A and B are shown apart, each in its own frame.
Chain A
């Protein structure tokens, strides 16, 4: 059943997803690091850097999120695993948090702190959980195939 799902997914779409999704994740992690540094230093460079990282991260997230939407809810609407659906929802909430955070980062000077740090933590934490859920699922799936 599951292998059938994977076969239905376009190889090209999967490749694009695998290329772009980690870029967005990396940018959000970098934004969190910049926010934490900004929280301890009044140098505006860090706040402005975090604003760019979030904005660029959101742009990079658009295509992989749509591919994931199609994979989980269109191609695999009857067959997608619970873990994949959970991954979808965790990502959705993370992206909403990042969008709100991009607006918080449009504030001037230290008005970004502390909300900006909290929202960056939420975004990165949700994305981490999603990745772990998916990794466990893939590991289970691999074991199944070997049996």
Chain B
């Protein structure tokens, strides 16, 4: 028996050594921030790097931490998985409460297990499929909550053009007549355009109107991490679509962007920028998520390559012709930070150093140990290009020992006073960051 016992222990040790060794990140995230991130060799794992903090929410009056010169307050709590915030012209705040439609089939044993892990993290909380309106009471301090629009289908992006409100559900763009000042939409709405919605591995549809209000840009994520669901389900995905507001006709504006979760207009040049979530499972330090300008007709690599011509061997068949023309993104945010919200700051309410650059909400992911992201950062811009490193602005979403997750930032917006609003889908809250405090 002893012999068997020894053999079993040896076999288990071999399995663990193969699976568990050396998975932790080796690079300082700072080495992967900026236009030229360090990119280590891609590796395949038996068990990819993973660390899942347990979602616990905020205790009583706990809040995220803010950088010097800022203060933070909770303006709404008890929401159903808030993902986006959007400020209307009268300073009312729309909060999109949403989560995955949960339509992705369990096609592998891995998916069966990852579903169980996901439930533990608090990131699978049920989405409200609705939009809530927040309005500051006249006496200040408190905020009213009104149910603004219900019965949506995993909505994410929302934009107002004139008096028409556009909502990007996971499967279409709906338009609704909006009367300034109202706290509930009564219009049943009409469909402007359909959006790719099979499987919905990445379900969010980011939405941005052109400044002249004639076009809508839609960020559509890929239907897989790296084509494991087949190439045919990636039609019109991993792309930014351009939708004509008048006709609803759409076309692919730019492609190869694995999961473009946020779009914005750079205020100085007027160019379109996006935040993109890159691929997983080839290393704790691969592949850095990024912030990039989006060129019309541009191809940014996914799935065939990353950061220009770094080929991903997991894709079959390979496409050297497409790899050759893949554009290298402008600015890496470091690996597995999971940027889910961006906002170019044009106000003047926050301290001077936050002018003209972009705030990025890093939701954080499980695919890196130690954790990375879980903060709202600021990237300064000069002459229409990002400069320097990501500066932490709002932190403390995860406990110091990285075991408990209190909240996670998603959508960002700016109100009339220039305060930064943050949707927090683990803490089910909306935070408001303004100047002041210490």
**A44 interface residue (CB < 8 Å to B):** yes
Question: Is the beta-carbon distance between A48 and B19 smaller than 8 angstroms?
Answer: no
| List of A residues within 8 angstroms of B107 by Cβ | 48
Query: How many cross-chain pairs have Cβ atoms below 8 Å apart between A and B?
Result: 74
Question: Is the beta-carbon distance between B44 and A107 smaller than 8 angstroms?
Answer: yes
Interface string of B1-39 (1 = CB under 8 A from A): 100100100010011001100000000000000000000
Looking at the complex, which of A3-11, A17-25, A108-116, A130-138 is the stretch in contact with chain B? A108-116
- Among A52, A100, A110, the one with the most B-chain Cβ atoms within 10 Å of its Cβ is A110
**A104 interface residue (CB < 8 Å to B):** yes
Question: Is the beta-carbon distance between B1 and A108 smaller than 8 angstroms?
Answer: no
| List of A residues within 8 angstroms of B315 by Cβ | 109-110
**A103 interface residue (CB < 8 Å to B):** yes
Tell me, rounded to whole Å, the shortest Cβ–Cβ distance linking A30 to chain B: 15
Given A106-B108, A108-B224, A109-B226, A73 contacting B4 (CB threshold 8 A): yes
Q: How many angstroms between the C-alpha atoms of A51 and B230 in the bound complex?
A: 16
**B369 interface residue (CB < 8 Å to A):** no
- Whose C-beta in chain B lies nearest to the C-beta of A74? B1
Which parts of A53-106 form the interface with B (CB within 8 Å)?
55, 69, 73-74, 77, 92, 96, 99-100, 102-106
Tell me, rounded to whole Å, the shortest Cβ–Cβ distance linking B61 to chain A: 42
**B109 interface residue (CB < 8 Å to A):** yes
Question: Is the beta-carbon distance between B314 and A103 smaller than 8 angstroms?
Answer: no
From the candidates B4, B46, B281, name the one contacting A100 in the complex (CB within 8 A).
Answer: B46
| List of B residues within 8 angstroms of A26 by Cβ | none
Question: Is the beta-carbon distance between B14 and A109 smaller than 8 angstroms?
Answer: no
Question: Is the beta-carbon distance between A104 and B46 smaller than 8 angstroms?
Answer: yes
Given A96-B14, A100-B15, A109 contacting B47 (CB threshold 8 A): no
From the candidates B19, B109, B226, B313, name the one contacting A52 in the complex (CB within 8 A).
Answer: B109
Interface string of B410-434 (1 = CB under 8 A from A): 0000000000000000000000000
